[in-house]
Amino acid sequence: MSKGMLIVGIIILAIITFGVVNIVQNYQTGNELDYYLLRETTEAAMTDAVDVGYYRLSGLLRIDKEKFVESFIRRFSENVNNSRTYDIGFYDINETPPKVSVWVTSETAASIDGEALGLSNRVSVILETDYLTNKYVTDMTRAGELDYSEVDS
């Protein structure tokens, strides 16, 4: 009888171990996936939000805040995991020079005593170009001199 109880104990211990490993793996991979999704989505949304007309006239980068937020939320919602709840916070959105800080928190499916495990990722992205040696800026634009006389032509 003691050998049977030992086998049952080992099986129960194995089931508990697999459960703990599953929770830890969900937490770690979820954090990593959220970070890379946040970083790639922020970079793509900033590229979408570049004001091309301003860049052609002045050679300086500028983003549109509303366009960035719209593009970020659209891209992020297309790629998230449906088993989590996400909270998105935008901090320090600068149009010129383009800088964005985004904070995303999510809760995992696992919970302990009704408290879900929370993941929090924050990324700050600065979009910049080499203004001195960039061939497009030096040849195709007026490199800082705003001349609106040729806009209509």
Q: How would DSSP label each residue in 26-89?
A: HHHHHHHHHHHHHHHHHHHHHHHTB-HHHHHHHS---B-HHHHHHHHHHHHHHHS-TTSEEEEE
The answer on pLDDT for 89 being more than 80 is yes
Res 92: pLDDT: 86
CA distance 49 to 72: 10
67 confidence band (pLDDT: 50, 70, 90): very high
- What is the percentage of the chain residues whose pLDDT exceeds 90? 18
115-126 sheet: strands from edge to edge: 85-94, 99-112, 115-126
Predicted confidence (pLDDT) at residue 68 exceeds the cutoff of 50: yes
What CA–CA distance (Å, rounded) separates 89 from 108?
A: 18
The contacts of residue 147 (CB under 8 Å, 6+ apart) are 57
Tokens of 31: 């954090």
pLDDT of the residue at 71: 93
What is the reported pTM? Answer: 0.67
Q: Look-up: residue for tokens 């891209």?
A: 75
Predicted confidence at residue 135, as pLDDT, reads 58
Distance of CA 123 to the CA centre of its chain: 7
Report which of 15, 23, 22, 21 is spatially closest to residue 117, judged by C-alpha positions: 23
Residue 133 DSSP SS3: coil
How many angstroms separate the first and last alpha carbons of the chain?
95
